[in-house]
Amino acid sequence: MTMSREGITISLPGTGVPEVADNLFSSVSHPPWTEPLDWDSCVSQSWERQIPFHSYARLGSTIPDTPASFPQFNNLPTELQDHILSLCTPGTLFQLLHVSSALRPRASKLFWGNPNAYFHVRASWLCSGTFPGETYDDLTLAPHIRNVEIEYHQNDHMKFFPRGRMDGARVERIHNFWKTLETTFPNVRNVILNQAWESNPPVRTSHGPPLDLKMVVESSPPDIHASAFVVEPNPPSTTLITSLSPSSPQRLRRALHTYNSQTTTWQTIHPHPQNRHATVLLPPKTFTGPIGAYQRIRYLIWRRIACYMALLPLAIEAFERQNFPHGDKPAATVPPLTCPITPNCSATFDAPGQWPLHAASAHPGWRPPWTREAVRAALSPALSHAFQERETSLLGDSGAQTVAKRGMVDEWNGKTGLTREEIEAAWSEQGGEGGDAEWRLRVLPDGTGEVNEYSPLWEVYVTDMERGSGRPDPFL
């Protein structure tokens, strides 16, 4: 994906591939709507919704789900108090964590143990030794977390299963992976390995998870309940997509394979896109020092792209809310609600859920910006304006990050500030042994014999600075 200030050109890897329909559908909120549109929501490159921590900690807090004043609460039996707490939204529980020392332990257990919310972490970071300088996440929250979703990319496979290495090395790597996970998240109980791409032979199986993930999950410690959330072929008889879009049968679907270490058996479900677990992003930590300054820019760019991508599911949701404001009957029945994406489409919608499903599955060639623009044109002037404002704001952020990075590139080229040697020394001091524990960097032998080690993040930085040197805009 590339973004520029003149306009945003998006060429998304995987856009329009069949499994996207399932993910895109799941990234749209469905009625009854108790929250306003979440302009801060993000989606992954696979269109999976990722809820920023600050949005999650606000969920439901705008709804008075308990009376404003209820002094009798403290006199209720503990069981009844627990029952009332179990009905509270994450937003209310988060508020209780900060205002009531008496309720804090129980509210904390419920907030962090919500069985429907999994906190996001990358497999690549876990497999590389969890060096704090290489993550944006605020790890001070890690001890509270009970449910972890691990983003498992195609190239993470090699970290578990290096080519040419014997089985013993693989077993050791997988063992170390689980040990690292337990050290980082000491109270973790439930883990989902999220593989949002289709496995190839020879690890693909006709039933159950791919063999590589199967091996990883079956090696999980006994006190961890582990699952693999994968992409698999969709039998024609059980296509997700209804007659609304007969031209776009979905070849792939998502499956959740859960391992029971007591019985050594697997259970498989195909969660409906509307009933998936929520993926919550940890808040970013405080970005300090030269490493933090560079990581802050990378974090903001990543977040801006994720927010920009989320404008598509948000537009789909806004159109659904506009036409089914109460989540049941359409706001207007005559004329019938038609598909706004293209005048050539004959689909009509008379119940909630039909439109998002159609938007996610039909017109795969009409992905952003076309679908988003077409849907926006069908929104009320106020909503359409709100989308325009959000886009402008994201592009404004782009300008601010460009300026910050331009300053960094200029310094690298000796136009301002420190020399390259001084920059490198500052990185070594902050990220090296005995430096800043929050920004400790991974170091590897470089193989030349002259310099004994290098940091992969430093290499990324140098490449980035060199690449940005000859460009008017370092993002291009």
Site for Zn ion in 116-145 (CB under 5 A): none
Q: How far apart are CA 390 and CA 451, in angstroms?
A: 48
- Shortest Cβ distance from residue 386 to Zn ion (Å)? 23
**Binding pattern for the stretch 446-475 against Zn ion, x by CB under 5 A and - elsewhere:** ------------------------------
Minimum gap (Å) between residue 315 Cβ and Zn ion: 14
- In the complex with Zn ion, the residue whose CB is nearer, 117 or 347, is 347
Pick 302 or 370: Cβ nearer Zn ion = 370
Q: Which of residues 345 and 426 has its CB atom nearest to Zn ion in the complex? A: 345
Q: Which two tokens stand for residue 70?
A: 């209820």
Rounded least distance, CB 338 to Zn ion, Å:
8
Site for Zn ion in 343-402 (CB under 5 A): 345, 347, 362
* Residue 153 C-beta-side C-alpha neighbours within 13 Å: 13
What the block records as the tokens of 190 is 């439930």
Q: Is 316 in the site for Zn ion (CB under 5 A)?
A: no
* Closer residue to Zn ion in complex, CB, 375/441: 375
Q: Is 423 in the site for Zn ion (CB under 5 A)?
A: no
**Residue span binding Zn ion (CB under 5 A) among the ranges 186-194, 341-349, 423-431, 445-453:** 341-349
As a residue count, the chain comes to 476
Q: How far is the CB of 244 from Zn ion (least distance, A)?
A: 8
110 touches Zn ion (CB under 5 A): no
Contact 342, 363 (CB under 8 A): yes
Nearer to Zn ion, 21 or 297 (CB): 21
Relative orientation angle of helices 420-431 and 456-469, to the nearest 10 degrees: 150
User: Is 152 exposed, middle or buried, given 0-12, 13-18 or 19+ CB atoms closer than 10 A?
Assistant: buried
Helix, strand, coil share (%) of the chain residues, nearest 5: 45, 15, 40
- Looking up tokens 């300026």 gives 403
Q: Which residue has the tokens 């390259």?
A: 420
Cα–Cα dist 299/157, whole Å: 24
Of 163-171, 337-345, 431-439, 443-451, the segment contacting Zn ion by CB under 5 A is 337-345
| Residue 224 vs 337, nearer CB to Zn ion | 337
Beta strand 117-122 pairing with 49-52: unpaired
Phi, psi of 161 (to 5 degrees): -125, 70
CB closer to Zn ion, 57 vs 337: 337
Measured between alpha carbons, how far is 305 from 303 in angstroms, rounded to an integer? Answer: 5
Judged by CB under 5 A, the stretch of 22-30, 132-140, 340-348, 410-418 that binds Zn ion is 340-348
Nearest CA to 19 out of 334, 249, 225 is that of 249
**Coil vs helix vs strand at 234:** coil
* Cβ atoms within 10 Å, residue 288: 14
Tokens for 306, please give them. 């994720």
* Residue closer to Zn ion, measured from CB, 300 or 347: 347
Q: Which stretch binds Zn ion (CB under 5 A): 32-40, 332-340, 410-418, 468-476?
A: 332-340
Identify residue 72 by its one-letter amino acid code: Q
Shortest distance in whole angstroms from residue 355 CB to Zn ion:
9
Our CB check for Zn ion shows the closer of 51 and 378 to be: 378
DSSP type of residue 134: G
Contact 161, 212 (CB under 8 A): yes
Segment contacting Zn ion (CB under 5 A): 140-148, 161-169, 197-205, 336-344?
Answer: 336-344
CB of 16 to Zn ion, least distance (A): 15
Q: What is the Cα gyration radius of the chain? A: 24
Interface with Zn ion includes 244 (CB under 5 A)? no
Position 20 contacts Zn ion (CB under 5 A): no
Smaller CB separation from Zn ion, 307 or 347: 347
CB of 323 to Zn ion, least distance (A): 14
Residue of 314, 339, 360, 374 interacting with Zn ion (CB under 5 A): 339
Note the residues at the interface with Zn ion (CB under 5 A): 339, 341, 345, 347, 362
